[in-house]
Structure 1
Amino acid sequence: MMRNSRGSIVRPVPLPDSASRPVVTPLSPSVVYASDTPDALDDQYEGRVHGYTYSREGHPNADVVAARLDAMEGVSGGVVTGSGMGAVSAVLLGLLKSGDHVIGGNQLYGRSLRLMAEDLPRLGIATTLADPCDLDAMRAAIRPHTRILLVEVVSNPTLRVADIAGLAALCREHGILLAVDNTFTTPRGLRPFEHGADIVIHSITKLLAGHSDVMLGYAVARDPDLTEAMRVFSITTGLTPSPFDCWLAERGMLSFDLRFDRAQATAAALADHLAGLPGIKRVIYPMRADHPDHTRASQLLGGQGCNMVSFELDGGRAAANAFTRAADGLSFAPTLGDVGTTLSHPASSSHRALTPGKRAELGLSEGFFRVSVGLEDPDALKQVFSQATTAAAGV
């Protein structure tokens, strides 16, 4: 009840009764939730009833997004975090302790590499990077205290395809948890639990939400106890997702299948088009026969090449600058998964923290670009890339 006199009770004002229900999930921005009694609050915290208390510990919009992704990955109980790196942190920092050892793929996302190289060692967690396409290299990296092996199905940004089946067998042999970042492939391209993964990670920010207006992550384990450990760590360290971001993400996920299929088809056509343009040194797309992991990609992904294409221009930074200036209508931005096609230049964005020598080892020259293909007309997109490549060649 609300009264206008002095000393009025400001909250609560009950919602109007309705015999119908909203078609769209309501946005629930409340930070706190009221309970009737201390006993009722005990019932919630001790699991006898379900309810919300404080949004850092969970809120309705996060649960809706988690349930959608759980269904897509064929699991339950996933944790939604405030970013993709929040999800990676929930896995590594929520499950590891000082004295443990973790192996990472050597072509992880740039911030994942930084976490492995700088932050985990500072906390007493040893790390090693190895090629996820080379089982012998991964086997050689294993130590007595290795607890987790973290890989991306398709690496960022070189689009190498990890030997998931071999890595899963290796992890089972040594009692190691296999954590798979499924951001590039998404559950439509691969469901890692069906291929032996123990933990799955997503940056919802990217193709799942799909509109460059959301910052969210997701992590879930096959073992509910591991998921709960990640959830508790996320709550304690404040990796809380925004209700509004969750609400926007659910809206984006409703069209995910359609967007994925359209972008993937265009990506395949664009990759073939780029391969025929003068001034292009190489094109990387998993479904192309010249991809180094083409056979594995075809078997693992079932023909799903996904929406990412990488390529390398002749020439250095000057050619790269000319290309982006001439790529009319395309956003040059360090992101992926948007409805519009975006260009990313790893040497100046995601992998800028690496030395030039380290970037060279990964094949990331100044002419290397990663393309996140969107929903544009394929012929129009080809024309833009043709014009931009011509401009780069003229430098």
Structure 2
Amino acid sequence: MTDTLVRRTPWPESASRAVVTPLQPSVVYAAESPDALDDQYEGRAPGYAYAREGHPNADVLAAKIDAMEGLSGGFVTGSGMAAVAAAAMGILRAGDHILGANQLYGRSLRMMSTELPRMGVMTGLADPTDAAAMAAAIRPETRMILIEIVSNPTLRVADLHGIAALARDRGILLAVDNTFTTPRAIRPADHGADIVIHSVTKLLAGHSDATLGYVAARDPATNDRMRGFATTLGLTASPFDCWLAERGLYSFDLRYDRAEENARILADRLDGLPGMRRVLYPGRADHPDRDRAAALLGTRTGNMVTFEIDGGRDAANRLVRAARNIAFAPTLGDIGTTLSHPATSSHRALSPEDRAALGLSEGSFRVSVGVEPADLLCAEFEAAIRAAAS
């Protein structure tokens, strides 16, 4: 018996099937013959060979997100930024130009300012709420535009239709990061986007226990280029994280709807509290892009609320210490509410002057609203904000 312990035991057969998707952590898959392996690699037969190139749990998850976004052929990556990198670095070449929204996620901005130029890709930024400003920033070498529909963390709403028309007329690929809005609010490919990106880590998975990304293009050849780049550089998703994220998707609609309703209530309750400078929520009448949000998103204005208090860093510290039951963490989309301080997390790499240009100060906070009872959540924030103002 000891001589055979290292031999793999065949999986037990069953006339019934598992209700839950099996977790398949295998790194490698054994083929029947060299001819059979050829058939897999050349597309004549389905199958897996090496997990860096793909595995069942990633494909199950990608197929579900494909269905949500109305796309096909998307794939899962090891993180949201890996998905952004697969889109940009997998397509662009030295001498190309990419135009980004000037309020992208902090690490996306860092990729634009540091990593892409290092590889010879030219970059530029412009205001995504103004299609004319985007048009003015386009160069003859521009090959891609990268935007978020709702920006992080100032919650400005991009002129998606204007930018999509601009990209179509100029023959430029439009990549949209749909992490904040999710397909529950909008499917960017239905509105002219060529590439759709997600940090699955956030709302889709929803429990802060899986780090993943997703990217898909409407054009199969573009999908193949991005997937080839991701496979070559090893931007591989963990089977266990994919399994966790798939489980999270089953409650996604319920979580999103409850968190969105809580966000509406919280945004209204925050307004007018002592020391409150401003509250930003796309569903409020005083939001600078309210009309565009209504046209694009309807009532699906999301679970994110941003606010700014007086008092600078000292007040910010008082607020966080008083909000003991609200996780102060640089994430979003968790089933529970989290609080983030952009100046020390997502946008810490920017200078104070650059943060100020985006409308961010030491008193700016971003709230990813969860599914707690709304009254409890509002009471906790009211107490913390009053403590910050004391």
With normalisation by structure 1, the TM-score equals 0.98
Amino acid at match of 1:370: R
Aligned CA-pair RMSD: 0.7
Stretches of structure 2 lacking an aligned partner (at least 5 in a row): none
Structure 1 residue aligned with 2:46 = 50
The residue identity in structure 2 corresponding to 1:83 is: S
Per the normalisation by structure 2, the TM-score is 0.99
Q: Could you tell me which of 2, 5, 11 is aligned with 1:4?
A: 2
CA shift, 1:11, in A, is 2.2
CA distance in 1, matches of 2:266, 2:384: 13
1:59 lines up with 2:63 in the alignment:
no
Q: Deviations over 1:159-184 (max 9, x none)?
A: 00000000000001111011000000
Q: Provide the rounded CA distance (Å) in 2 between the counterparts of 1:271 and 1:138.
A: 30
Q: Deviations over 1:198-219 (max 9, x none)?
A: 0000000000000000000000
2:266 corresponds, among 263, 270, 275, to 270
* d(CA) in 1 for partners of 2:31, 2:311: 64
Q: How does 1:109-128 map to 2 (within 5 A)?
A: 109-128=105-124
Are residues 1:92 and 2:71 paired?
no
Query: For 2:2, what is the secondary structure of its paired residue?
Result: coil
- Equivalent residues in 2 for 1:151-300, closer than 5 Å: 151-300=147-296
Contact in 2 for aligned 1:340/1:373 (Cα 8 Å): yes
Give CA deviations for 1:14-73 in whole Å, capped at 9, x if unaligned.
Answer: 111110000000000000000010000000000000000000000000001000000000
Aligned length: 390
Post-superposition CA distance 1:240-296 (Å, at most 9, x none):
000000000000011000000000000000000001312111000001000000000
**TM-superposed deviation, 1:88:** 0.1
Q: Displacement, 1:9?
A: 6.6
1:15 aligns with 2:15: no
CA offset digits 1:92-130 (Å, max 9, x no partner): 000000000000000000000000000100100000010
Out of 113, 131, 155, which is 2:127 matched to?
Answer: 131
Measure how far apart 1:10 and its partner are.
2.1
Say if 1:151 and 1:181, in contact at 8 Å, map to a contact too: yes
- How far apart in 2 are the matches of 1:137 and 1:260? 33
* CA distance in 1 between partners of 2:120 and 2:377 (Å): 48
Query: Aligned AA for 2:345?
Result: S
1:108 aligns with 2:133: no
Confirm or deny: 8 A CA contact 1:105 1:132 kept in the other structure: yes
Match of 2:102, as an amino acid? Answer: N
Determine if the alignment matches structure 1 residue 380 to structure 2 residue 382: no
Query: Conserved in 2, the CA contact under 8 Å of 1:79 and 1:230?
Result: no
CA–CA separation in structure 1 for the residues paired with 2:182 and 2:27: 31
Alignment partner of 1:343 is 2:305: no
Q: 2-side partners of 1:223 and 1:135: how far apart?
A: 24
Instruction: Tell me if 1:31 matches 2:27.
Output: yes
1:4 partner amino acid: T
Moved over 4 A (4+): none
Secondary structure of 2:30's partner?
coil
SS of match in other structure, 1:219:
strand
2:306 to 297, 307, 310: 310
